[in-house]
Structure 1
Amino acid sequence: MNVSMDVSMNVSMNGLVRANEEGENDLKPNETYTGTMLSEIPFPNMAVLFKSGGLDFFIVDTEHGGFDHAALSGLIMTARLAGITVLVRLADHARSEITRLMDMGADGLLLPMTGGKEDIAAVVRHAKYAPVGRRGISTTRGHTLYAPTGIREYMRQANERTLVFAQIESQAGLDAIDEIVGLDGVDGVIVGPNDLACDLDCLGEAAPILDAIAAVAAAVRRLGKAGGIITSEPVFLRHAKANGMGIYCIGSELHMLKLACRGIIQQVEELQR
């Protein structure tokens, strides 16, 4: 079977990357997208499970997780073929890792601890082809489903569909929020409440984080970008929703397993009553 470029560019059309017929990113800031974190388990078919469970996306955590490149390649390819958006949370903005991840076919990247415009600008530069960035060109790879055609048109479409998000987890990120959100090539920002609370020295206090969520949400509204949050804390989720954010990354595969185990225990305990 001859796999066309249209197929390779539109695999993720039902996920967070709502690609239109031309393969362009049609991410809508006002829509709701629900996902989870993949923290440690390198099972490629986890992408299929997430898709069959109705999720729009998942984030592979290479900041804290121990995924090797072979595992990442399998996860990313399975996600693309299953039609669920896969983002990768980076450890930093190093070119070498970004190049590998994009050539594997990742739909987008999330930079943790984004402290300013320069941090996220480096991700855009390495993840996007010219004229937007300086991504190296190697087309017979997973990102084209090994069927490259029309290099100039492919580069344009790849730039359109590649998502870049900044994770706001510090006072520095909050202070530079307009510059970060407003940078060309940045699709949006996602709040990380835990590290943000640590940086603000307010662990266990909700009010400063609620204020930060509102400030980030106001910035993305002003600049027409997408906003979201990574948390399972109901008060933060509700506040993000009330302020118009649409991207919700809740829990992880590890949380799901723990909750399922507790559910099994509860079922057995109920049998004994």
Structure 2
Amino acid sequence: MLINPVKERMQAGEAALGLSVRLARSPDIARIAKATGHDFLFIDVQHSIFNLETIIGIAHTALAIGVAPVVRVRSVDDPDVSLLLDNGVSGIVFPDVNSAEEARRAVGRCRFPPIGGRSVSGGYPQFDYRSMPIAEAVPALDRATLVVCMIETAQGLAALEEIAAVPGVDVIHVGANDLLVSLGKPGRFDDPAVTEAMDRAIAAAEKHGIHAGCGGNRDVARQAAAIRRGVRFVTTQTDIGFLTAAASQWTTGLRKALAEPGT
């Protein structure tokens, strides 16, 4: 049986935490994610340059240690979606989903018939390349595959409820950064518009038996507040953000210590 740790945690009513990957190219980032309490990797192909072999190398390590490798692709029409899923990726995040029709296109790339149009392959790494009857492999892969639709524009926000109602969507994910820019309020993460968008996503997700997500909001208190309200899919911070924050804290502390008398 395939188990997606993100789906498992969300279905248990808990928040799944993801490490956004923009800098790392080594599969060891999966081990760091696990060691730091993350449930999934959010490999960001929309904003960073990755080749396919690098993504799959990371994905295979993540699969082996119980961390879900999730990829944010470039759009609902990204041609690499099925290729990524066939080779070990556990979920796809689609940015800028602005309508139910776009959500259906996203689902179509990820789900097998009759819901979608994903092509059947063989020798899936999810099964360690064991020979599996198609009648068993297809439903198992469908159950374990995560489909995330991001709401990042005023247009997408207007269609949020319709997008959440599309069969095959697992998460309706509010991208706070881009959404605020779209609304003419860049960087105003405490603006009521963000809270309202999250509450609408939570309500729509509950209505349709799926989950709400929160991204782009890089603040522990705000993330905790969103989780308490019902968000279950959260990206904590990027690898770049974690590295620069820790490095800056260290050098600042060291220079402060050296400036103190008697040190």
Q: Is the 8 A contact 1:190 1:227 kept in 2?
A: yes
Structure 2 counterparts to residues 41-120 of structure 1, below 5 A: 41-94=24-77, 96-120=79-103
TM-score (norm 1): 0.88
Match of 1:22 in 2: none
Structure 2 counterparts to residues 1-273 of structure 1, below 5 A: 6=1, 9-10=2-3, 12=4, 15-18=5-8, 27-28=10-11, 30-94=13-77, 96-205=79-188, 206-230=191-215, 231-234=217-220, 236-272=222-258, 273=260
What are structure 1's unaligned runs of at least 5 residues? 1-5, 19-25
Q: Is the 8 A contact 1:174 1:216 kept in 2?
A: no
Partner-residue secondary structure (3-state), 2:7: coil
> Partner amino acid for 1:214?
D
1:235 Cα deviation from its structure 2 partner: 5.7
RMSD: 1.8
1:150-204, Cα deviation, whole Å (9 max, x unpaired): 1111101111111101111011111111111111110111111111011111124
The number of residues matched between the two structures is 256
Q: 1:109 to 1:120 in 2, by over 3 A?
A: same
1:142 Cα deviation from its structure 2 partner: 2.6
Q: 1:267 to 1:95 in 2, by over 3 A?
A: closer
Distance 2:109 2:17 in 1: 27
Q: Is the 8 A contact 1:210 1:239 kept in 2?
A: no
Q: Is the 8 A contact 1:32 1:246 kept in 2?
A: yes
1:9-36, Cα deviation, whole Å (9 max, x unpaired): 24x4xx2132xxxxxxx74173121122
Q: Is the 8 A contact 2:63 2:126 kept in 1?
A: no
Q: Between the two proteins, what is the percent identity of the paired residues?
A: 23
Q: 1:36 to 1:170 in 2, by over 3 A?
A: same
Q: Is the 8 A contact 2:76 2:95 kept in 1?
A: no
1:221 Cα deviation from its structure 2 partner: 2.1
1:90-149, Cα deviation, whole Å (9 max, x unpaired): 101236311111011111111110101111211211111122211111112434321131
1:204-254, Cα deviation, whole Å (9 max, x unpaired): 432222221222222112222111111213464244234211222111110
Distance 1:136 1:246 in 2: 30
Partner-residue secondary structure (3-state), 2:114: coil
Distance 1:96 1:72 in 2: 15
1:270 Cα deviation from its structure 2 partner: 4.0
Distance 2:42 2:131 in 1: 26
